Structures are given as C-alpha cells and as structure tokens.
C-alpha cells in the first residue's frame, strides 16, 4: 500500500507483524569523534582495532547479527583514493565465516575525515561515494547504518559545541543534521545501485522530555524535534510539519528542507538507542539543581536534569518509547543500543528490562525485531561526553582491562537470551535503580494535569530475591559492604559474630540453611597485625579456620564465596608490584594466617574468589590512615609515617564495588584489588595533604624500625595484577574520598588555626563509583533556541 506522509509518499508493506522471534543483536562501541584537531577512537581505546580474535568471542555469545563499523574516518582518513581496506577485509571475512551478519556503519558520531565536516555542503556526496565503494567491495552485506544517531551528533557538534565543528547555534545544528540525513539518502542510493535488496537500519537516540507546566512549550518542542531525523528520511517534513518553521526560521533554505519530500528514504528498521539519561525534565527552579544542569533558551533559564532523578512517576522506558515509535511510523523497530555504565547488577537489570519490554510490545502486535547488547567491549570517557581523554572505562559484556577481554555476567545474560534460556542470576530479582524510590535525588515532581498519562505501563517481572550474606557486620569492610549493597539494590543480611561464628561448622551450616543466600561475603577476620604476634591462636582461628569452614559449607550447598587476603603474604623481596601468581612468603603471624587460608580455601572450594588487597582508607571510618593524617595536619600538628614501606592504598568503596562485580561475574581464584599507584606511607600522607590543600611538610617521614611496631612488615608489598586492573587510580580515589567525606575548612587556611571536619557521607555514592547516573551520555546542559 501507499501511505502519504506529510506531503511525501513512500511504499511500505502492510500486513501481519513479522512472526520470527525477537533477536539478540550486539555491537562494540565504535565512536570516532573529533574534538578540535584530535580524533577519539573507541576501537583503538578498547583494543578491538588490534584484535580480530574478538569476533570469535562475540560469536560464542550466540549472536548472529552484529552492528559493525567500517568507518569513513578509519578507512580513508587522508584522501578517498588512498583507502586502506586491509582491516575491513580481514574482519568482514571473519564475520562471514562465523555466520554473523553485519549491519555496517560508516559514520558513528563522527564528522568524516579531515577533508570534510558536518557543515561541508559536500559531506553528503563524499559519504555516498565512500558508501558505494564499501558496497562494491562487500556486495553481500545487506544491512547498513550509514550514519549513527544523526540528531544526537548534530546536537553535540552543532548546538552544544562539544564535538567538531563545535557549533553552538541553531543554524549549525540544522545544517549538520540535514547534511547527515542527506548523506544517508545518497549513501543508500549508492549502496542499492550495487545491492538492490540492501536495507537501511537507521538509529537515533530516542528519549522524551518532561517539564513543569510553565516550560511545557519547550518540552513540546523537544519532543517533536526528537523525531526529526526519522521524519526527514520518511519525507514527512513539509510546510505543515512543526519543524518546518524552526528549520527555515534559523536560516535553512526551504529547498534544502523540501529536498527530502522528493527523495524519501524510509528506514527498513527504525533503531532506538536508549540510555538512562535519554529522558529529561525541565524545571525553571534552577536553585534546586547543580550548576552544571542549568541552562535555558532564548526566553528563560531552566535546569535540565535526568527525569529518573526527579519525576515521581518515573520513565517511559523502552516499552513506552517503542509504543510511541510504532504509533508514529508503523515501521519495523529494534532497540539498537542498550547499555548502562553502572555496576554489574544494574547493567544486567537494564538489558533484561529492555528485552522484556521488547517482548511485551511484540506480544501486543508491535513489530519489534531485535534488542542490541551494545558496547560489548565497554566504552571510554562517555562520562565527559568524549570531549577529553582521561581513561574512564565502563565495562560491557567483556572487560578489556584484562590481558585479553574477560567475559562478564553480561556475556552470560546475552548468551542466555540468544539461546532462549530464562535468565536466572540472583541480582535480577531487584528492579533497577531507575525504578527504585531511592532514585529521587531532587524534590519529587508529579505529573502536571496537562501531561497525558500513558495508556499502558510496563511492569518488570518479579522474582524471589535470595540474599547476600555478609559476615563481619561490625567491621570496616562488613559495614561498607552492607552500605553499598543497599545502594546497589542487593538484598543482603549483615551477620555479626553473635549471629554467625565462622569457625564453627554447626553455626555456619545452620545459618546457611536458614538464609539460603546465593553468595557469602566473608568480611570477618582478625585485623590487628601487631597483636597477632602475641595471639597467634586467635588470629589463625578467624583468618584461616573460619574461611576454611565457610568454603566447605558453601561448596556443599552451591553457594558462591568471596573472602579477603592481604599484601602481607609477601616478604617484600622485590621492587615490582606483586601479581596473583607470585609465591607467597609472609613475615609474620597475620600474613601467615592469610596465606594458609588462601591455599586451603581454594583446595576445598576451587570456585571461591579470594581477593588480596592492601591499606584500607574510606569515607566511613574516621580512624583510617588518611583521616588521621589529615586531622593531625589540619590542626597544625605533624604526622609520622613510614618512609621505607611501599604499599598499594585501597579505597574501600572501590574495593567493595570491584569485589561485588567480580562475584556477580562468577570469577574465581585469587584476584588483586587495589587502586593503581604504589606509594610509601609517607608519600601517601603527603599526597592526601596536597589534595586537601594542607601543607605536606607536616608529614614526618621515618624508617619503619623507629616506629616501634611489633610485627615485621615487607619493605615493598605493592600489588599489581595479571588478571586485570579494575579499580581507578589512587589519585582519583583520594579526590573522591575528600569529596565524599564532605571536607570543610574553618578559619584561616594560611595559619595554624585550621580545622578539618570529616563526616561520613550518607549520600548516594558519586557517579564515578558507578551508582546512580554514571552514564552521563546525554547529560550536557542544553541552551537551545526554539
């Protein structure tokens, strides 16, 4: 049938919804964006550019369709005539051999090679020429995404000024968008000249904007604009279209807008990319929100915040947006990016909810073809919107911080969905943070009377929530686990010595049988290193015998176990960081108790996870080394620290988050977890002082022998890892420690009368810790012209 669309027309096939099951697609994050004269290449940062063997790992997940980059900027960076096809030849041949169908992408948040740009009138013709060359070389490829997210890229490059050509006005935005969309039309024309059956899988970020009643006009504008790339391609933007006056009003020639009416190129599949930050809320009460969220339009200032953090009724989500897209276009749909930069449990919940929402819509008659597990190899620096490199990494189905990409729990979930198996990871029993009441960071805003209510709501599946059992409830580590499990939505029970004596088999058996936990975190233990020299029996009972009992009981019941060891299992006889396979040689009772525990736990339970760590500091313990040092220096005193012991200080929140992620991933054996950056104790204190604005000269460095310690310490016990560095740098951790402890100064900074107030933070951990909204993918303040 022929369906008129706003003055244009196109042919689409009517009939019953496609009957094949919803598929699992996947893809690596592959952005190549330009900032100034520098290109940021996710394929290089993740290492995929150098590892063709990744494709076998992708195939092992069971996916048979892969969004895959053959990017203009990478293939022909200097001149079109100098294209180098060696990379794409090898990889597309490998994909074909593996039985994986690629959806080939040509530009992904880019502006093309240096000889063009998004505001170059020749951009579209240049892209079409490149597309034709790719199609002629690989004529068997039948699905294409010439430009990923043209609307989002136009906003970031033409309106917000983040990416090249760094425009910050409506005309540059409009030109960037129209040039990309025109490029898509011409690229598909060139591709179809080679393969007439080639299909367009057109993607864009699809969010939704809400507002107070006073800003409804701005929300209406943004909710119309979100469809603009699809409407242009479908030939819908005529004089009656709400965006016609906007585009021509900012300076675009009518003929450039009208060109799409005569040259429609409707997508064969509309791809919805959806993130936690895709839905926004606009509020004129700027004082309620951080400065970074404040912006405005030509008429008035307002704050632009993530809707999940303020809207009492929550998000439309994938379910709601699939419904809206179907009602608008009645074209096949797919979720073409589903990724959350967060803790592992939240990543699993996010992907499963997208899958469940797609399945629900399919049952209602919506033609949903697939859900795409995006960023298989993770992504870098999206927390700063790819404007500057600083190494912030969000893992995906694989974690590339290991010597070779390491499968995470996401990989197992993808494999389950692809094989039609029911996912059963225990963390999936809890809804994601975006659905829990604790998500509301700001005063809750209820839907105003003029805002239409959704006709249908999506209700996530309900499961029985098995708890996580945490021993050592009163210790620093046990309290930290309980606190972070609460934030991460992990049902847990924190057990004290009175609740559970880990060294008594009958006590352990009774508690495990009653609670039926899916895993045990053993945070109990004897921690007084010097006292252990005089109390070896007590030390070995808690540090060796207790973990052995737990391991035997957990192994018998199929319960996962993580327990903790120390850098003091080493003697310090080397000057390079120790890795997991290095031989242990403890110098004292405490280290010996831990070394024996490691060996005997893994003998009884090879699937146990044993985490070696070092030198705790954190925001919830006022007696840790950093707190004591800063408190002494802030009052004008001195602080004595060892100059000849080199350690790897470890920020407790990072340790807990990292341990939980590894536990959820099902990792086993010995892992080293510490923040990157080996320091002597004196260097550590001085570094903390400098970051806090204190005089590091107040730190008095002394030899360990002069400190009167009973137990011998290794002169060097820094930890490295041959399995993967998964914790941030020490400097990053110290910076977060100072912020999360709410450091405040009183009095004259330059004199001796200074004081430092250190209060344990009770707020939700910062985005850098992967809790509420680390996926700051679209959270730039928007100063837009209507």
Q: Of the residues 590, 651, 716, 737, which is catalytic?
A: 590
CA torsion sign, 112 to 116 to 118 to 123?
negative
Closest C-alpha to 358, from 433, 274, 277: 274
Q: Pairing relation of β-strands 38-41 and 32-35?
A: antiparallel
Q: For residues 605 and 554, is the Cβ–Cβ distance under 8 A?
A: yes
Q: For residues 669 and 651, is the Cβ–Cβ distance under 8 A?
A: no
Phi, psi (rounded to 5 degrees) for 434: -70, -5
| Residues 6 or more apart in contact with residue 249 via CB below 8 angstroms | none
CA 668 to chain centre: 23
Is there a catalytic annotation at residue 590?
A: yes
Phi, psi (rounded to 5 degrees) for 642: -70, 135
Buried b (16+ CB within 10 A) or exposed e, 619-656: bbbeebbbbbbbbbbbeeeebbbbbbbbbbbbbbbbbb
End-to-end CA distance of the chain: 36
Cα 530 to Cα 24: distance, rounded to the nearest angstrom: 56
Phi, psi (rounded to 5 degrees) for 649: -60, 145
Give 249-253 contacts, CB < 8 A, sequence gap 24+.
250/169, 250/170, 250/171, 250/174, 250/785, 251/171, 251/174, 252/171, 252/174, 252/175, 252/178
The alpha-helical segments, DSSP class H, found in 497-545 are 505-515, 536-540
| Residues 6 or more apart in contact with residue 255 via CB below 8 angstroms | none
Cα 350 to Cα 496: distance, rounded to the nearest angstrom: 33
> Which two structure tokens, joined as six digits, stand for 451?
């805002």
> Which two structure tokens, joined as six digits, stand for 185?
């039309």
Closest C-alpha to 56, from 419, 410, 398: 398
Q: For residues 771 and 343, is the Cβ–Cβ distance under 8 A?
A: yes
> Which two structure tokens, joined as six digits, stand for 683?
């260097």
> Which two structure tokens, joined as six digits, stand for 342?
């967060």
Q: For residues 491 and 468, is the Cβ–Cβ distance under 8 A?
A: yes
Cis previous bond, 84, omega within 30: no
Cα 98 to Cα 55: distance, rounded to the nearest angstrom: 8
Q: How far is it between the farthest Cα atoms of the chain?
A: 89
Active site residues: 590
């Amino acid at each position: 049938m022929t369906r008129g669309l706003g003055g244009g027309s196109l042919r689409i096939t009517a009939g019953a919804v496609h009957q094949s099951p919803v598929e699992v697609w996947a893809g690596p994050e592959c952005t190549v964006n330009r900032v100034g004269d520098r290109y940021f290449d996710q394929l290089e940062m993740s290492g995929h550019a150098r590892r063709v063997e990744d494709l076998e790992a992708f195939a092992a997940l069971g996916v048979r369709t892969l969004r895959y980059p053959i990017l203009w900027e990478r293939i022909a960076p200097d001149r079109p005539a100098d294209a180098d096809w060696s990379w794409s030849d090898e990889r597309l041949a490998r994909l074909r051999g593996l039985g994986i169908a690629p959806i080939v992408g040509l530009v992904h948040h880019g502006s093309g090679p240096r000889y063009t740009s998004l505001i170059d009138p020749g951009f579209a013709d240049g892209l079409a020429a490149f597309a034709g060359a790719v199609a002629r070389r690989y004529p068997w490829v039948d699905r294409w995404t010439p430009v990923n997210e043209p609307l989002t890229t136009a906003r970031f490059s033409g309106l917000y000024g983040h990416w090249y050509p760094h425009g910050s006005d409506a005309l540059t935005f409009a030109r960037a968008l129209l040039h990309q969309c025109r490029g898509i039309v011409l690229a598909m024309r060139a591709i179809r000249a080679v393969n007439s059956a080639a299909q367009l899988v057109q993607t864009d970020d699809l969010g939704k904007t809400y507002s107070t009643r006073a800003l409804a006009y701005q929300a209406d504008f943004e909710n119309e604009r979100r469809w603009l790339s699809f409407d242009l391609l479908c030939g819908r933007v005529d004089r009656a279209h709400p965006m016609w006056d906007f585009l021509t009003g900012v300076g675009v020639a009518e003929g450039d807008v009208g060109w799409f009416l005569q040259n429609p190129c409707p997508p064969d599949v509309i791809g919805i990319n959806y993130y936690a930050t895709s839905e926004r809320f606009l509020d004129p009460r700027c004082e309620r929100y951080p400065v970074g969220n404040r912006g405005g339009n030509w008429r008035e200032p307002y704050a632009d915040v993530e809707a999940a953090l303020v809207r009492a009724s929550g998000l439309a989500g994938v379910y709601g947006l699939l419904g809206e897209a179907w009602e608008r276009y009645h074209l096949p749909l797919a979720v073409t990016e589903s990724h959350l930069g967060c803790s592992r449990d939240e990543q699993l919940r996010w992907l499963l909810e997208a899958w469940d929402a797609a399945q629900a819509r399919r049952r209602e008659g919506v033609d949903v073809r697939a859900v795409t597990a995006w960023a298989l190899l993770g992504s870098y620096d999206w927390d700063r919107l790819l404007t500057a490199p600083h190494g912030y990494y969000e893992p995906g189905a694989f974690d590339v911080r290991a010597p070779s990409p390491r499968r995470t729990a996401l990989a197992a979930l993808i494999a389950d969905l692809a094989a039609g198996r029911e996912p059963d990871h225990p963390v999936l029993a809890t809804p994601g943070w975006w659905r829990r009441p604790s998500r509301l960071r700001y005063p809750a805003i209820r839907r105003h009377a003029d805002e239409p209510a959704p006709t249908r709501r999506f209700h996530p599946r309900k499961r029985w929530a098995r708890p996580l059992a945490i021993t050592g409830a009163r210790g620093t580590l046990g309290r930290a686990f309980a606190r972070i499990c609460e934030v991460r939505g992990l049902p847990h029970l924190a057990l004290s010595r009175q609740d559970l004596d880990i060294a008594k088999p009958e006590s352990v058996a009774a508690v495990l049988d009653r609670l039926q936990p899916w895993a045990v975190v053993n945070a109990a233990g004897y921690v007084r290193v010097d006292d252990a020299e005089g109390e070896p029996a007590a030390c070995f009972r808690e540090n060796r015998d207790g973990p052995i009992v737990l391991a035997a009981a957990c192994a018998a019941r199929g319960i996962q176990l993580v327990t903790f060891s120390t850098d003091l299992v080493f003697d310090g006889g080397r000057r390079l960081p120790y890795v997991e396979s290095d031989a242990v040689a403890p110098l004292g009772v405490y280290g010996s108790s831990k070394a024996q525990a490691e060996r005997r736990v893994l003998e009884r339970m090879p699937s146990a996870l044993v985490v070696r760590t070092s030198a705790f500091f954190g925001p919830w313990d006022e007696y840790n080394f950093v707190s004591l040092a800063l408190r002494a220096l802030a009052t004008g005193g001195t602080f004595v620290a060892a100059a000849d012991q080199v350690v790897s200080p470890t920020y407790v929140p990072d340790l807990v988050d990292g341990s939980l992620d590894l536990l959820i991933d099902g990792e086993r054996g010995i892992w080293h977890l510490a923040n990157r950056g080996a320091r002597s104790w004196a260097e550590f204190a001085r570094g903390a002082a400098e970051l806090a604005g204190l005089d590091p000269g107040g730190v008095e460095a002394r030899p360990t022998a002069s400190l009167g310690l009973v137990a011998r310490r290794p002169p060097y016990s820094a930890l490295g890892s041959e399995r993967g560095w998964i914790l941030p740098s020490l400097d990053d951790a110290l910076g977060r420690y100072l912020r999360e402890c709410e450091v405040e100064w009183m009095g004259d900074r330059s004199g001796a009368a200074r004081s430092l107030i250190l209060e344990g933070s009770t707020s939700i951990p910062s985005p850098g810790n992967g809790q509420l909204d680390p996926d700051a993918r679209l959270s730039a303040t928007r100063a837009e012209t209507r």
